[in-house]
């Protein structure tokens, strides 16, 4: 039965290919993990596609597949794209990592760009990511300033380094204001399930948190926070419409500039393997306007953002201890990227037990 469902789903997915003008110089293809209508993570990637389309016009032919499950289906979807004449394929979720590398081995002439991963097993695979933790640090600072309970709720998706890094950065930001700040973490074990995310938010609020932040993709937690009259941070896009009195700020992913640069490289024939990890400085990570907070908090947030942007300050700067109390970073020491990208431990002060 399950097999039937999957193959039917795959067939339907294939039917939903969108193809454009025939005279294009280059064909760019995107694989999304969620629907482009999630108004969050996949929505922002799609905004990047639209930016590229606007920039290149008829020179660029685009196609995309949405709601592709992480797993065997992903490989099939990517391979189909590779066969259909795509010159460059952007696979936009961590879980597409192995599938992307496998297909890349079979199609050496197609360029593959995998978001948020770390495996580049073939010369035609690049990885790109954004330093979202920079934004999460700023959010932590704001949360600790704004919370009366001294506790924030964190709705997390899956225990992968990207998410763990975000929780740690948030906590470090909060601790810089209030060393005793607490964060309650709930793992939804999904990237996108509005109902479940809403339930998680309700559970956290019932347990006394008065700030919600999320690393899942729907706008539901923002709505619950609004209903219950507490503050929250948006995720991936500016969600102010869902909480005009609720949203403090949001980390906005801006993939457009990167997509344009990489597609240009394919057109020029200068594309080569890269591992790009851009942050606020490169314009990958943009903070939505600071709203619903007193001026002094806003000022502190802006100062923190400016310091990170200029490179003067790195959120992961020692002294930092791990959860079990052992030293991780000495005073003044800055974490290296490799450790961050493979982060599988909590820093001191987080009560949750990290699922392994």
Residues of this chain that interact with another protein (CB under 8 A) are 1, 4-5, 8-9, 12, 16, 34-39, 43, 66-67, 153, 159, 184-190, 192-196, 198-200, 202-204, 206-207, 218-220, 223, 241-242, 351-353, 355-356
| Nearest residue to 49 via CA among 33, 37, 35, 60 | 60
What's the closest the beta carbon of residue 6 comes to another protein, in angstroms? 11
DSSP string, 326-344: -EEE-TT-B--HHHHHT--
Half-sphere exposure (CA, 13 Å, Cβ side) for 137?
A: 24
Strand ordering across the sheet containing 88-91: 60-65, 26-31, 88-91, 111-115, 125-130, 275-278
23 in helix, strand or coil? coil
CA 66 to chain CA centroid, nearest Å: 16
9 or 286, CB closer to another protein? 9
39 or 328, CB closer to another protein? 39
77-86 b/e with 16+ CB inside 10 Å = b?
bbbbbbeeeb
73 or 305, CB closer to another protein? 73
190 or 291, CB closer to another protein? 190
What's the closest the beta carbon of residue 154 comes to another protein, in angstroms? 10
What's the closest the beta carbon of residue 149 comes to another protein, in angstroms? 13
- Integer angstrom CA distances of residue 253 from 47, 152, 230, 322: 10, 23, 24, 28
4 or 270, CB closer to another protein? 4
Alpha-carbon distance 170 to 341, whole Å?
A: 16
What's the closest the beta carbon of residue 227 comes to another protein, in angstroms? 8
244 or 311, CB closer to another protein? 244
What's the closest the beta carbon of residue 72 comes to another protein, in angstroms? 18
Contact 62, 20 (CB under 8 A): yes
What's the closest the beta carbon of residue 39 comes to another protein, in angstroms? 5
Contact 60, 11 (CB under 8 A): no
2 or 272, CB closer to another protein? 2
35 or 318, CB closer to another protein? 35
Alpha-carbon distance 329 to 177, whole Å?
A: 19
What's the closest the beta carbon of residue 288 comes to another protein, in angstroms? 14
What's the closest the beta carbon of residue 208 comes to another protein, in angstroms? 8
| Nearest residue to 131 via CA among 290, 273, 301, 309 | 309
């Amino acid at each position: 039965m399950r097999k039937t469902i999957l193959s039917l789903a795959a067939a339907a997915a294939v039917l939903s290919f969108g193809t454009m003008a025939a005279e294009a110089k280059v064909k760019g293809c995107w694989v999304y993990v969620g629907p482009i209508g999630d108004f969050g993570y996949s929505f922002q990637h799609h905004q990047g596609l639209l930016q590229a389309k606007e920039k290149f016009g008829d020179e660029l032919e685009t196609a995309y597949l949405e709601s592709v499950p992480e797993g065997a289906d992903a490989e099939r979807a990517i391979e189909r794209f590779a066969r259909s004449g795509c010159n460059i394929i952007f696979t936009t979720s961590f879980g597409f990592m192995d599938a992307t590398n496998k297909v890349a081995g079979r199609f050496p002439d197609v360029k593959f760009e995998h978001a948020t991963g770390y495996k580049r097993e073939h010369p035609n695979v690049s990885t790109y990511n954004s330093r979202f933790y920079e934004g999460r640090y700023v959010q932590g600072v704001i949360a600790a300033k704004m919370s009366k309970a001294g506790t924030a709720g964190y709705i997390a998706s899956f225990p992968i380094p990207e998410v763990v890094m975000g929780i740690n950065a948030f906590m470090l930001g909060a601790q810089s204001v209030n060393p005793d700040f607490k964060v309650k973490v709930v793992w939804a074990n999904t990237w996108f399930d509005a109902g479940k995310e809403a339930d998680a938010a309700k559970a956290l609020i019932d347990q006394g948190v008065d700030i919600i932040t999320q690393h899942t993709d729907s706008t539901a937690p923002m709505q619950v926070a609004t209903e219950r009259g507490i503050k929250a941070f948006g995720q991936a896009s500016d969600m102010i419409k869902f909480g005009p009195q609720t949203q403090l700020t949001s980390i906005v992913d801006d993939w457009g500039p990167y997509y344009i640069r990489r597609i240009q490289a394919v057109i020029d024939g200068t594309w080569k393997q890269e591992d790009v990890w851009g942050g606020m400085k490169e314009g990958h990570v943009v903070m939505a306007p600071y709203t619903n907070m007193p001026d002094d908090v806003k000022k502190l947030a802006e100062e923190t953002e400016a310091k990170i942007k200029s490179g003067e300050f790195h959120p992961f700067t020692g002294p930092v201890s791990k959860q079990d109390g052992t030293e991780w970073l000495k005073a003044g020491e800055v974490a290296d990227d490799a450790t961050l990208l493979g982060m599988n431990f909590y820093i001191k002060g987080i009560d949750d037990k990290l699922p392994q």
